[in-house]
Structures are given as C-alpha cells and as structure tokens.
Chains A and B, each alone.
Chain A
C-alpha cells in the first residue's frame, strides 16, 4: 500500500521552484475601496493601485451625494436657503447656518444684536464639541476601539438634547439664521447647559485614557500620513488638519466674527512626541496629531461657552426684518471656522431678493484633495487611518 502511494506521488508533487517564484511575484492590482466601505465615513470611493500590502496610489472619486446645492441657492431667498446649509456638513449644522447667515448679513449690512451673537457663539461651540465627538469616536472605531465610540455618542446625545430644547431639531437645526438666532433660549436652558459642561469636562480625561494615549492606538496612528506644513498650505488645508501640521492659525483669532475677539481661548497645534503629555512615536502633522488637536479643541470650546454664558447680554436675539431682504448688487466672500476647517460662502446679489450666485467652499472638499499626495506608498491598513484623521463629511464634499 505504502509503495503504491509513493509510486503515484511524483505526478502530484509540487514543483517547488515554480511555486516559490509565483509566491514572490508581485503585480499591481486596482482595488475599489468604497463607496460603501465603513471606514470611509460616507460615500467616498477610493481606487487604490496596490502592490501586495502597499498602496502605490489612491485616487478619490466623489460626487455620490451631489445635490447641486449651489443651484438651489440661486432659486431661493437667503432665509429659505438656511435649511439647505444644514444638509451640507450635517454633523455641524449650526456652524453652516452661521457661515451663510454671516455672508448674507455682510452683504445686506444687517447688524446682529449682542445677545444674538453670544447665542451663536454658544451654539457654534456646542456643535463643534458634538462634531468632534463623532469624529473621535468614529476614528477609534476605524482603528478597532469600540468603547470610546459609545462614550462619545453618550455625551453627544446630551448636546443634541440641548439643541432640541432650543430649536426642536436634533440634526438639521436651521436655528442660527440671518440676523441672529431664530428663537431666544428657553427658560432654564442656561442652567442645563452649565450642568452639561460640568459633567462633560472631566470626560475628556476618560477619552484620553481610553484612546488617545492607548499604546496600540498611538502605534497605529503615530507617524502615519504625515502632512508637512508646506504641503498643508499648498493644498489649502484648514481647521484641525492645518493646525496639526504645527501652525497656530484659527479664523476665530485671525478674522474674528460674531464677537469671538471677546473670548479668551487657546489654539492647540500638533506637537512633536515625547514632550509633555504627547507620547513618543508621534510627529507633527501625522494622523495622531490631527486626532489630538480635535481633543484639545473641545476643552477650548468648553472655555468659550462658559465665558459666553457668563457674559450673555440681555436684549434682542435677532435683528428686526430679516426675511425678504433685498440683496444689493454687490458680492461678499465670508469664511468661518467650522469644526472641519474653514467654510466659505460667496454670495452675489443683483438687486432682487434672490442671489444670482451662491458658492460654498467646503473645508472637507479641500482637505480631501490632498489624499492622493498623502496616500502614496503607504500600507493598505494605513489608508483608513489617514482618511479617518482628515475627518471628511461627504455631504459637504459633494454638496
């Protein structure tokens, strides 16, 4: 029996020389990542040119969520367009409302009363915290850490409750509108907000212990996808992505709007590893820095909200007669500091009530355009780490 087997084996014996060659042989392969890949945060499709585990080139394909919001803006009066801005960066509706309202106010010469400005600052900063919580939680999820995501969403839920109490909506608010805010703060809201801030501030240490300084997480994101300051400037990056590359640049300080100059806050930037609380193995401009800048920004937002609540002036929350505005034949370009970067609106009026052109400059659109440059010769597993740290919201990339 044994002899028979031995006799028959030569036919099926593997030719080791050939198999070794075919194992070592590499060839380029195109891999579609998305549009439904969970770690691309929405409908982003990347075509990856891979060689084994290496990504030689990543080409983003966008537009799956395109609704031509700019064309809609040419058919509506500005106050009717506010709800459409909610749906651009749907994680930061308040900030989008504020950006468009500021552009129209500057075009029409509307002056927002001090209470309206303070309400705007409070809600913009609350929304910044809520947006960063989603960003941080999902980033942890991308890297295989499930728990921080649940904690982040628990706290975000409380912010959404505050928003719901003020305007009735939990995602698409349309609360900050032309001339100020749509309604005044409800009774007891200020105390509820203070309660939340007292509860929330110590939680940031929890996130840091759970995720930021977790050894595996630092290994996974440190020195991955480094964007130099020169590249960040050349590609027009803004927001945490730019600050992580080491420049203290924040539109709230450079070109203050809605009274941001009255508040005292710091602008966190990416720093080299090994100094202070920054762990070893991270570098300025890497994925970990982009993540951690957002973490630090939440503390600053809490500081701003506390000051705004303490100084909240009495009086009107909205300038009178802000619907049916006639837009003069003029144009403005206004940018504000959104959680993801600088959101800009170019509004061109022609003397009628409907603008002749509304152009939105989405921060994620510009931040995402550096993907091809950064995802060159990286490991496949690093691509989600890089995309997640850029923190894109496709609703605003595609508009």
Chain B
C-alpha cells in the first residue's frame, strides 16, 4: 500500500489526530498527535489493509530550533500467512510524534509492539522523552545515575563522573600546563 493511501486512510479514520502528512521526503511519514498515538498504533497494527506488525525502530530527534522533540516510528508489514513461501514484498511507513521540549511526554506503545520496550528506554535515556505507561522506564545504555540526556543538542558533556575527570578534545589539543 502506497504512503498516500495510508495517509488518506488515517485521515479518514482519525481526522484531527493526524496533524500533518509529509510525503515528499525520502522517508514519508504522518505526524500524529501524542495523546491519540496508542489508538492509532493499534489501528496501524490490526487493520487488515495495513497490518504493520513489525516496529523496526524508534528514533528520537531533537528539533532545537522549534523547541520540540520528536519520535520517529518506522513500521513495516511482514505477511504471516504461508510463512514458508519466500516473501518478496512489503509496505513500509513511518509515524512521527512531536512534543514540546518543556513537557516531552509520549504515551508508550510497548503494549502494542513489545519491540518498543527497549527502543523507548533508549529514547528516554539518550533524548529524555518520557513514555507514559511504559512497564519499566529506566536508563538502558547510560549508567543509572547519569545526568542529562546525551543526544540532546544542548547537552553539556560532564567534566567528571564519580571523581573520574573527563578530558575534552579542546584540552587535549590546548594543554593548560
């Protein structure tokens, strides 16, 4: 199913919840309102015309100039009937949920696609997006007591961690002593 059709289907079903559709990029997507996202996710997964049963990836983006954070959900369809027959086609789509930097909360979809569990933890850890309703939202790659979210554009690299001094590239090339 082509991205245009998917967008039309979503708009017809959810109306206002589809804030925008961007089809001109190399990665066509629909922007969904954060509060309606789990409902849309269930529809994307269960509707027989769409059948997006695999969540491939969640990528968190920092849109600093707009004071926003975004999550990109990449989906595709794996046909499960007659699994032993070689599969040669699929259809893919992406969903983007944009939230304010001041309150970066997105409802979790870990109950829709269990794959979202670790991806959401990663987005929380590195970009600081709060996934409400997530079963176990804690840091996954950084240590539990780490400060800040490293992938944010305004992240400041800590100068020490547990009394271990950190050296920045600037200091290496410009020694003070």
Let me know if A267 and B56 touch, CB within 8 A. no
Q: Of A84-92, A126-134, A190-198, A359-367, which stretch is located at the interface?
A: A359-367
Please, how many angstroms separate the alpha-carbon atoms of A106 and B86 in the complex?
Answer: 26
Question: What residues of chain B lie closer than 8 Å to A235, measured between beta carbons?
Answer: 114-115
Name the residue on B nearest A349 (C-beta): B26
Interface residue A229 (Cβ < 8 Å from any Cβ of B):
yes
Question: What residues of chain B lie closer than 8 Å to A332, measured between beta carbons?
Answer: 26-27
Q: Of A135-143, A176-184, A243-251, which stretch is located at the interface?
A: A243-251
Question: What residues of chain B lie closer than 8 Å to A107, measured between beta carbons?
Answer: 26
Interface centre among A66, A236, A248, A373 (most CB of B within 10 A): A236
Let me know if B117 and A369 touch, CB within 8 A. yes
For B123-150 the 0/1 string (1 means CB < 8 A from A) is 0001000000000000111110000001
Q: Which of B113, B126, B139 contacts A234 (CB 8 A)?
A: B113
Closest CB-CB distance, A330 to chain B, in whole Å?
A: 5
Please, how many angstroms separate the alpha-carbon atoms of A330 and B23 in the complex?
Answer: 11
Let me know if B27 and A333 touch, CB within 8 A. yes
Please, how many angstroms separate the alpha-carbon atoms of A63 and B84 in the complex?
Answer: 36
Interface centre among B26, B114, B150 (most CB of A within 10 A): B26
Please, how many angstroms separate the alpha-carbon atoms of A346 and B85 in the complex?
Answer: 30
Please, how many angstroms separate the alpha-carbon atoms of A332 and B90 in the complex?
Answer: 17
Interface residue A223 (Cβ < 8 Å from any Cβ of B):
no
Let me know if B151 and A70 touch, CB within 8 A. yes
Interface residues of B, dominant DSSP = loop
Let me know if B151 and A330 touch, CB within 8 A. no
Name the residue on A nearest B136 (C-beta): A59
Let me know if B83 and A348 touch, CB within 8 A. no
Chain B, interface residues (CB within 8 Å), range: 35 or more
Please, how many angstroms separate the alpha-carbon atoms of A70 and B155 in the complex?
Answer: 14
Let me know if B26 and A361 touch, CB within 8 A. no
Question: What residues of chain A lie closer than 8 Å to B60, measured between beta carbons?
Answer: 359
Interface residue B80 (Cβ < 8 Å from any Cβ of A):
yes
Interface centre among A248, A267, A330, A399 (most CB of B within 10 A): A248
Let me know if B85 and A248 touch, CB within 8 A. yes
For B3-34 the 0/1 string (1 means CB < 8 A from A) is 00000000000000000000001110000000
Let me know if B141 and A66 touch, CB within 8 A. yes
A residues 203-256 near B (Cβ < 8 Å) are: 229-230, 233-236, 246-250, 253-255
Given A330-B25, A361-B56, the answer on whether A248 and B83 have CB atoms closer than 8 Å is yes
Let me know if A365 and B118 touch, CB within 8 A. yes
B residues 30-83 near A (Cβ < 8 Å) are: 53-57, 59-62, 72, 74, 78, 80, 83
Interface residue B174 (Cβ < 8 Å from any Cβ of A):
no
Please, how many angstroms separate the alpha-carbon atoms of A335 and B115 in the complex?
Answer: 17
Question: What residues of chain B lie closer than 8 Å to A331, measured between beta carbons?
Answer: 25-27
Interface residue B95 (Cβ < 8 Å from any Cβ of A):
no
Let me know if B72 and A70 touch, CB within 8 A. no
Given A68-B150, A233-B53, A267-B86, the answer on whether A249 and B94 have CB atoms closer than 8 Å is no
Question: What residues of chain B lie closer than 8 Å to A335, measured between beta carbons?
Answer: 56
Question: What residues of chain B lie closer than 8 Å to A44, measured between beta carbons?
Answer: none
Name the residue on A nearest B118 (C-beta): A369
Let me know if A246 and B83 touch, CB within 8 A. yes
Question: What residues of chain B lie closer than 8 Å to A357, measured between beta carbons?
Answer: 59, 61-62
Interface residue A269 (Cβ < 8 Å from any Cβ of B):
yes
Let me know if A366 and B115 touch, CB within 8 A. yes
Interface residue B177 (Cβ < 8 Å from any Cβ of A):
no
Closest CB-CB distance, A187 to chain B, in whole Å?
A: 38
Please, how many angstroms separate the alpha-carbon atoms of A398 and B78 in the complex?
Answer: 27
Interface centre among B113, B141, B150 (most CB of A within 10 A): B141
Interface residue A344 (Cβ < 8 Å from any Cβ of B):
yes
Interface residue B103 (Cβ < 8 Å from any Cβ of A):
no
For A260-286 the 0/1 string (1 means CB < 8 A from B) is 000000010100000000000000000
Q: A63-B142, A330-B25, A359-B57 are in contact. List 16 more A-B contacts (CB 8 A).
A: A63-B141, A68-B150, A106-B26, A233-B80, A234-B53, A246-B84, A247-B84, A253-B86, A253-B87, A254-B90, A333-B57, A342-B56, A344-B74, A366-B118, A369-B115, A369-B118
Residues of A with Cβ closer than 8 Å to B? 62-63, 66, 68, 70-71, 106-107, 229-230, 233-236, 246-250, 253-255, 267, 269, 330-333, 335, 342, 344, 346, 348, 357, 359, 361, 365-366, 369, 373, 398-399
Closest 4 CB pairs of A and B: A236-B115, A361-B57, A359-B59, A247-B83
22 interchain pairs (CB within 8 A)? A62-B141, A66-B142, A68-B126, A106-B26, A230-B80, A233-B78, A233-B80, A246-B84, A248-B84, A254-B88, A254-B90, A255-B90, A330-B26, A331-B27, A332-B26, A332-B27, A333-B72, A346-B57, A361-B59, A365-B122, A369-B114, A369-B115
